[in-house]
Amino acid sequence: MSEKTASETASGSPENAGAGASLIDGKAFAKNLRQRTADEVRAFHEKHGVTPGLAVVLVGNDPASEVYVRNKALETHRVGMRSFMHMLPETTSEASLLHLIERLNEDPEIHGILVQLPLPKHIDPFCVTNAIAPNKDVDGLGEVNAGRLMTGLPGIIPCTPLGCLMLLKSELGDLRGLNATVIGASNLVGKPMALLLLNEGCTVSICHIDTVDPAAMSRTADILVVATGKRGLVKKDWVKPGATVIDVGITRIPTEGGKTRLVGDVDFDEVAPIAGRITPVPGGVGPMTIACLLRNTLKAARMSVGDKACKESGDKNWLPY
Ligand code: GUN
């Protein structure tokens, strides 16, 4: 997508001079996607008199989660949707959270429901995500949507892996026959990412905490997706020359002068000269997550009125690409 090469944004050390990996500009892609969503929200309202509504629930005061949910609300408004925020205290019981979800499930003004994770320890996240009505489960984490992805049926796809897949398809086109390695096996990113790549015809390996030699598995990959939360885990000897590298990790680290900066799970300065394409952190996968959440909310609103616009606009199997 971007004409910029990784060497223009790497730290500028001499060994990076002339490095060739092109940067995958997730920020620009997400901006385009949000614009398209805003246009479609307007057209949807004109056709049906319905404004898509997204409810976001946060339990507790985790500072990072507070920033995420506020950004979600802001972006929801920006594309012309309605945002309903529920900020609940840390002491909220599982029963009262489930009661709120029941109310949101029945509310016709709400088309999408997201409960921000992680939840406080006394609340079972599986019980909560499965309480969300499948057609409002815009995170795609409940067992119905997860099962649909597993069996290759149309459903709602988790936002971060969906964003990664959109970037990959826009960069590489047809993914059939490519070797893909996903590092990290979470329900939120790693597992759905692997299934999406499998459904696209890739040969997929998944590495996790017990994998004996993740570097060797990674070196086989034409597509390497990394989602572990371990900053700088992936070094240059993990990467096949020319591979497309998608870095989902976001860790905030302190820098000199009391400031902070974001880094990924991939050692960017080492890997960028070897990779064919790479997502930066920040500005790669991060902006895609909220853009895809908005896409999923529009899709849920369309499903609520039986609108086939997804199909009409060329979306394969209602996938909101
Ligand atoms: N916490 C971090 N990422 C996510 C996400 O994509 N969805 C939810 N619900 N919580 C998160």
Rounded distance, CA 180 to CA 233, Å?
A: 18
**Taking Cα atoms as reference points, which of 277, 236, 238, 283 lies closest to residue 264?**
283
What is the pLDDT, as a whole number, of residue 310? 52
Rounded distance, CA 278 to CA 272, Å?
A: 7
What is the pLDDT, as a whole number, of residue 311? 52
Active-site residue, selected from the candidate residues 139, 222, 247, 265? 139
Here the tokens at position 122 are: 């006394």
**Taking Cα atoms as reference points, which of 107, 109, 55, 57 lies closest to residue 87?**
57
For ligand 1, whether the C-beta of 137 sits within 6 Å is: no
Residue pointed to by tokens 């609103």: 301
Give the mean pLDDT of the chain: 92
pLDDT exceeds cutoff 60 at 244: yes
The residue whose C-alpha atom lies closest to atom 2 belonging to ligand 1 is: 117
**pLDDT tens digits along 129-174:** 999 999 999 999 999 999 999 998 889 999 999 999 999 999 999 9
**pLDDT tens digits along 178-206:** 999 999 999 999 999 999 999 999 999 99
Distance of CA 212 to the CA centre of its chain: 27
Rounded distance, CA 56 to CA 199, Å?
A: 29
Q: Grade residue 309 by pLDDT with cuts at 50, 70 and 90.
A: low
**pLDDT tens digits along 21-64:** 999 999 999 999 999 999 999 999 999 999 999 999 999 999 99
Annotated catalytic residue 116: yes
More confident residue, 286 or 319: 286
What is the pLDDT, as a whole number, of residue 308? 66
**What mean pLDDT do residues 210-239 have?**
98
Name residue 204's amino acid.
V
The residue whose C-alpha atom lies closest to atom 11 belonging to ligand 1 is: 117
**pLDDT tens digits along 282-295:** 999 999 999 999 99
The dihedral formed by the CA atoms of 21, 22, 27 and 31, expressed in degrees to the nearest 10: -160
Annotated catalytic residue 222: no
Of the CA atoms within 13 Å of residue 27, those in its CB half-sphere come to 6
**Taking Cα atoms as reference points, which of 246, 271, 244, 229 lies closest to residue 164?**
246
Rounded distance, CA 295 to CA 114, Å?
A: 13
Pairing of strands 203-207, 112-115: unpaired
Annotated catalytic residue 35: no
Beta carbons within 10 angstroms of residue 196's beta carbon: 24
Name residue 230's amino acid.
K
What is the pLDDT, as a whole number, of residue 307? 74
Q: What separation in Å is there between the alpha carbon of 273 and the centre of ligand 1?
A: 31
pLDDT exceeds cutoff 90 at 110: yes
Rounded distance, CA 197 to CA 217, Å?
A: 16
Report which ligand 1 atom has the smallest distance to the Cα of 289: 6
Q: What are phi and psi of 306, to 5 degrees?
A: 70, 25
Q: What separation in Å is there between the alpha carbon of 262 and the centre of ligand 1?
A: 18
Q: What separation in Å is there between the alpha carbon of 151 and the centre of ligand 1?
A: 23
Here the tokens at position 170 are: 């826009």
Question: Count H helices, E strands: the chain?
Answer: 11, 11
Here the tokens at position 319 are: 């996938």
What pTM, to 2 d.p., does this model score? 0.92
The dihedral formed by the CA atoms of 267, 273, 278 and 280, expressed in degrees to the nearest 10: 50
Measured at the alpha carbon of residue 81, what is the angle toward residues 31 and 294, in degrees to the nearest 5? 45
Q: What percent of the chain has pLDDT over 70?
A: 90
Beta carbons within 10 angstroms of residue 190's beta carbon: 23
